[in-house]
Structure formats: C-alpha cells, structure tokens
C-alpha cells in the first residue's frame, strides 16, 4: 500500500500559482492553501487571470488541492456581528473554492464559552445547514470538519462532537471530516503504539465512519498528550514521535486520503517532513 496524496500547507504570497511551485519544490502531488489572508474578513475578488492560471498549474502538476477556512470564522458564536460575518465569510470562501477548482474546504467547528457543548454543537449545525443550503450551486466543494485540540471552549476535540454535527445535518454528503494528528493527541487520544492507534481508528470507524474521512493533517505535537494546546512540531520531533506516522502511511484504510503537513517552516522544512513520511512507507515485496 502506498499513500498517494501527500503535500504541505503552503503560502500563496506572490500569487496563487506559487502554491504549485511550492508543491513542485517539495515533490508533492497535493497542497493546502489559504485563498486569502486568514486574519482578515475581507478579500479582493478573484480575477479571471488568477483563476485560470491557478487551475492550469494545478492540472499541469496533477495536484489535489484543499483550502483552509479563515480562523476568524466561528459558527458557534452568539455575537450577532460575528455570526453574520462568519456565515457570509464561509459562503464567500465556498464560492472562491468553486471558482478555483478546489475540492476540499477544511474548517474548525467553532466555539462559545457562554453556551454548553451541546448548545454550541446545535448552533454550529444550524448555521452549517444554512450555509449548505445557500451554496447548493457549489456541490463540488466538500466541506471538511476538522478535529480540534479543545483549546478553550472549542468544539471538535471529541469524535462524538463531529459525528453529532454531521448527524444533525442529515448526514449531508457535502460534509466530511479531517483528522489532525496533533489536535487529537492534544485532545487526549493516544496513537503512539499500534494497539492505541488501532483503538483510535476503530473508534473513528464506529463513531464517524471512514467513508466520511477525506483529509488528514499530519503534524507532530510540541505539547504532551491531553494538553489541549495546539502547537505543531516537525514530524518525529514532538511528543507523538515517528511510530504513529509510520502506522498512518502504511494503513490501507487511509489509501485515498489527502494528507497534508502543517509543520513549521517553508519548502525546505516541509520537504524534510514529507521525505520522512515517504521513507516510512513499506515496500511490498513481490517474491
């Protein structure tokens, strides 16, 4: 078995086509980007030239592309202004992904320190339902709920949270899941031994189901298990260690999953991380 879709989260500074260059520099067939400054609500409209040049280079390089939604968007907010901006920002981002031919849009569920977890989950599901209905013309863009470390009042640090949001949306086919390895570890799930890893993956199958898994973020963790703090480390350089990543890249259940490193640094550091991952894929002997 071979992990087929592997790449890094890269910068589009200097233009969208630079994402394709970064992928080339790191020998990747996949890439993840922010389609706009993730720390601002607004973005200038995409130009026809930006759209066509990016689509062309992604096809030329045979890239599978994911976008990550702005961290400002919070579907769990009860602040009217933030709620309104979040829904509009999410809808706009789906449209940008459709125009750019981006297949996956990864996002964090949301948070609300004034509500219970259950109330926040219900609110997120309602807002998501509205967004799905408003973007019926963008069915090709898959909305990918990411597991979180559980910092503050973040929803998504239990697999059950993600399952419930999907369930409340009638198991909508446009809603899928991203497992971030650093986040689940910080949230308290151990995957460092084969038995713990299998336990987690079997749990995932029972609670959510592999049919919903489309993306994985392969990041080591600078903080120990259960810390609930989201700090990414280079592969093998954090508290998770190499074994978990060896299990992942050799797991037949994950064969067609888009795998993205969101580790510190740029092309040089990402290439080191990606080469470590590729180097751990077991060669199947044919004798």
- Cβ closest to Zn ion, residue 46 vs residue 72: 72
Segment near Zn ion (CB under 5 A); pick from 37-45, 84-92, 177-185, 201-209? 177-185
Binding mask 209-238 for Zn ion (x = CB under 5 A): --------x------------x--------
Segment near Zn ion (CB under 5 A); pick from 40-48, 108-116, 173-181, 241-249? 173-181
- Cβ closest to Zn ion, residue 57 vs residue 189: 189
Question: In this chain, which of 164, 180, 220, 267 binds Zn ion, going by CB under 5 A?
Answer: 180
CB of 132 to Zn ion, least distance (A): 22
- Cβ closest to Zn ion, residue 158 vs residue 217: 217
Q: Does 36 bind Zn ion (CB under 5 A)?
A: no
- Cβ closest to Zn ion, residue 61 vs residue 230: 230
Answer for the pair 89, 76: CB distance below 8 angstroms, yes or no.
Answer: no
Of 221, 235, 231, 220, nearest to 275 by C-alpha is 235
- Cβ closest to Zn ion, residue 12 vs residue 216: 216
Q: Under rule CB under 5 A, which residues in 189-208 are in contact with Zn ion?
A: none
Q: Under rule CB under 5 A, which residues in 91-110 are in contact with Zn ion?
A: none
Which residue is closest to Zn ion by CB?
217
**Residues found near Zn ion in the complex (CB under 5 A):** 180, 217, 230
């Amino acid at each position: 078995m071979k992990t087929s879709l592997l790449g890094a989260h890269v910068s589009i500074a200097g233009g969208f086509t630079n994402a394709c260059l970064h992928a080339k520099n790191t020998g990747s067939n996949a890439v993840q980007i922010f389609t706009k400054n993730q720390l601002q609500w607004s973005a200038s409209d995409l130009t026809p030239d930006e759209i066509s040049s990016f689509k062309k280079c992604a096809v030329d390089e045979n890239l599978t592309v994911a976008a990550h939604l702005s961290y400002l968007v919070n579907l769990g907010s009860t602040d009217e202004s933030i709620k309104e901006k979040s829904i509009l920002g999410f809808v706009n981002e789906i449209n940008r992904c459709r125009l750019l031919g981006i297949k996956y849009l990864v996002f964090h569920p949301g948070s609300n320190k004034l509500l219970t977890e259950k109330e926040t989950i219900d609110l997120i599901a309602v807002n998501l339902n509205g967004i799905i209905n408003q973007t019926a013309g963008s069915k090709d863009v898959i909305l990918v709920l990411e597991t979180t470390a559980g910092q503050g009042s973040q929803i998504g640090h239990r697999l059950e949270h993600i399952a419930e949001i999907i369930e409340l949306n009638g198991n909508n086919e446009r809603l899928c899941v991203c497992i971030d390895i650093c986040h689940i570890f910080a949230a308290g799930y151990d995957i460092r031994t084969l038995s713990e890893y299998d336990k987690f993956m079997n749990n995932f199958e029972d609670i959510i189901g592999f049919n919903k898994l489309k993306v994985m973020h392969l990041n080591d963790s600078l903080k120990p298990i259960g810390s609930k703090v989201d700090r990414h480390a280079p592969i093998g350089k954090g508290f998770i260690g190499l074994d978990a990543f060896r299990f992942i890249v050799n797991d037949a259940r994950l064969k067609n999953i888009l795998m993205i490193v969101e580790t510190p640094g740029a092309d040089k550091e990402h290439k080191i991380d990606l080469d470590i991952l590729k180097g751990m894929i077991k060669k199947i002997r044919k004798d």
